[in-house]
Structure 1
């Protein structure tokens, strides 16, 4: 690379063929805060808000193991009307819950704290988050902004740009919440196809980074099953058992009809060579990839 060329981590990752399976951060609770001005590099933590209110929200999020994301609508920014906030969760029974409110003054964000303990409604559509946090990573803006605009033309009420979600090198990244589904390596055209399939409860292995309700090796196991046997609904496959052994994990994947009822999947972690993983990465570092070495039906 010459001195005049700009390093873009998403371009480099696609050239290398970096695997995405197993890269969705674990979590089941999200706090979304609409903020239409510029986002600091560290998102909500860097906002100049009332210190007491900000500390309340951060502590409540920590207690609930919730992730705080800033959001805004794609396209031209406007300042009319109140901002919105939301608490979204995916409970242990698989129920998807949402609770929304509005804020004008910083102190209004304190309403997020009791909302984290209240039961939300389960009759709302999914929230489609497109990472467009350019100050955190250049690729998130270069690839995320046009992807968000394309999706918002079809689903204007569901699509938001959001702050950093992780995995910058997989931009454009999309997170569907509270389903907890991470997609990556997208552009404006492929994102429309992926979301059309998602809305039809037809999840494909292509572009799937994982389900946030599962841990990385479990995510990789489900993605390998989807790649082998074809698309399935978000809850068509569940994890029956995960056993750690010397070289990796033995994972039982249970399917609902018409899918195979049970599969044994072997997953082995591999460390990649050191490389620059983000646009702003100060040094090369390694990443863990999860290699599925076998998928088989249990012997009886």
Structure 2
């Protein structure tokens, strides 16, 4: 075993300079339900012990309909496998959420399908929920670094915090997803918890640890983060479709900066970073990423 293979994937990613922006999932649909952590599958949550076979068909059915679904499990302390599950669904493109506090596990797949179709039971999330990946079965960094921030975030009584299965990008651990916004954060440390919690409670992006807004593609996420870095108090931030400029891509981002409507043309270029996809990999691998090179304000 080489010395490189004994290093944590999160450590190698940080030292390579790999940026956070642009690494959230582009799946616009999200569903998570409570299930005992001891029963989580190490790779595919749909294969977790005790789940009905119908759960396995959800992601494929959503994809066939033209929309991708993230399916996750989260842990509620004290719940057992034979208890009703709590279900949380989100449609980030349509700004919809639904929570069903108690549901027979046999009804879970149908309830998720109904939400995806635009209907279903449940009530919208009433306060922010932070889902922190502590899935040590999937990757050591997620388990070790994720658990270290759960208690720090739970110190804020105005936030709900739960441990969740893999959110993607374990090399960027610790990771947490904010609902209902869909903002994904990475490399979160306990010291970030107070500022992150305050930002989430007030509907602001916590830029130092921002990976991107779930449901957008990579270029849109990178451009949105660049626009927020330029105009930290911006609202109604909307990245447009990219246009090609040689090897670069230009993304026009429209936003409101107080009472002023602005448009920022963000120039994105590709860079390659040597990273470990997971802890235990034998050697780093090249990973191409878009980064924001510059931003020029355009007249509207």
Find the residue that maps to 2:162 and give its secondary structure.
strand
Aligned partners of 1:58, 1:260: CA distance in 2, in Å?
A: 38
- Measured in 2, the distance between the counterparts of 1:36 and 1:295 equals 46
Distance, in Å, in 1 between the alignment partners of 2:221 and 2:129 is 21
Q: Distance in 2 between matches of 1:271 and 1:285?
A: 10
The answer to whether the 8 A contact 1:87-1:115 is kept is yes
Shift in Å, 1:157: 6.2
| Residue number in structure 2 paired with 1:173 | 175
Shift of 1:82: 2.9
CA contact (8 A) 2:29 2:215 kept: no
Aligned counterpart, 2:49: 48
Write the deviation string for residues 186-215 of structure 1: whole angstroms up to 9, x where unpaired.
112203311211221222421111112321
- How do 1:102-251 residues align onto structure 2 when only pairs under 5 Å count? 102-104=102-104, 106-112=105-111, 113-117=113-117, 118=119, 121-122=123-124, 124-155=126-157, 158-233=160-235, 236-251=236-251
* Partner secondary structure for residue 136 of structure 2: coil
Given that residues 139 and 172 in structure 1 are in contact (C-alpha distance below 8 angstroms), is that contact kept between their aligned partners in structure 2? yes
When structure 1 is superposed on structure 2, of 248-257 and 114-123 the one drifting more is: 114-123
Could you say if the C-alpha distance between residues 264 and 285 of structure 1 is closer, same or farther in structure 2, counting changes exceeding 3 Å? same
Q: Sort the Cα spacing of 1:50 and 1:98 in 2 relative to 1 into closer, same or farther, 3 A.
A: closer
Contact 1:204 1:230 in 2 (8 A): no
Shift of 1:28: 1.8
Deviation at 1:88? 1.6
Structure 1 counterpart SS, 2:154 = helix
Judged with a 3 Å threshold, the aligned counterparts in structure 2 of structure 1 residues 155 and 128 are, in CA distance, closer, same or farther, namely: farther
Confirm or deny that 1:66 pairs with 2:69. Answer: yes
Q: Is the 8 A contact 1:203 1:232 kept in 2?
A: no
In structure 2, relative to structure 1, the CA distance for the partners of 1:51 and 1:32 (3 Å cut) is closer
Q: In structure 2, how many angstroms separate the alpha carbons of the residues matched to 1:65 and 1:56?
A: 13
The two structures, once aligned, show a CA RMSD in angstroms of 2.8
Larger strand share, 1 or 2? 2
Count of aligned pairs: 292
CA distance in 2, matches of 1:169, 1:137: 9
2:128 and 2:159 in contact (8 A); partners too: no
> Kindly tell me: are residues 145 and 61 of structure 1, through their superposed partners in 2, closer, same or farther at Cα, counting changes over 3 Å?
farther
Q: Which segments of 5 or more consecutive residues in structure 1 lack a partner in the other structure?
A: none
**Helix, strand or coil at the partner of 2:149:** helix
Cα-to-partner distance string for 1:131-182 (whole Å, 9 max, x where unaligned): 1110101010111012122212324762111111111111111111331111
- Alpha-carbon distance between aligned partners in 1 of 2:151 and 2:225, rounded to the nearest angstrom: 28
Q: CA deviation at 1:36?
A: 1.4
Per the normalisation by structure 2, the TM-score is 0.85
Aligned 8 A contact 2:152 2:190 in 1: yes
Contact 2:130–2:177 (CA<8 Å) still a contact in 1? Answer: yes
Q: Which runs of 5+ in 2 are unaligned?
A: none
Q: Distance in 1 between matches of 2:124 and 2:52?
A: 33
Aligned to 1:30: 30
Is 1:261 aligned with 2:268? no
